[in-house]
Amino acid sequence: AQKVTQAQTEISVVEKEDVTLDCVYETRDTTYYLFWYKQPPSGELVFLIRRNSFDEQNEISGRYSWNFQKSTSSFNFTITASQVVDSAVYFCALSEPTDSWGKLQFGAGTQVVVTP
């Protein structure tokens, strides 16, 4: 069963629009970690954020913000005032003790296309 679901395959926006990427996860563990990575066309995965299951505070970093809601098992990611450089595939990932802390379980990714 898919542990991390990113239902949006592709989102296309015009520059300066906001875009929200959904991530829904599944785990039986009470302690776990969630991550977001960006994969630009060059292919290298870029780490964006790590969040543990006990910290439900929303986080903002520049134009990026994250909304973590344990009640709905979601960890959504918003890019505000999108730019062409934001065009990439974005992955949500889960790390849990049941498997192995060092194993990241990735969703299928959401392709974001930002046009000028």
Binding site for another protein (CB under 8 A): 4, 31, 33, 35, 37, 42-47, 50, 52, 91, 93, 95, 97, 99-109
CA distance 97 to 77: 24
Task: Name residue 55's amino acid.
Answer: D
CA distance 43 to 40: 6
Closer to another protein at the Cβ: 47 or 58? Answer: 47
Tokens of 108: 């299928």
CB of 102 to another protein, least distance (A): 4
**Using an 8 Å Cβ cutoff, are 84 and 114 in contact?**
yes
Closer to another protein at the Cβ: 80 or 113? Answer: 113
CB of 81 to another protein, least distance (A): 27
Closer to another protein at the Cβ: 79 or 89? Answer: 89
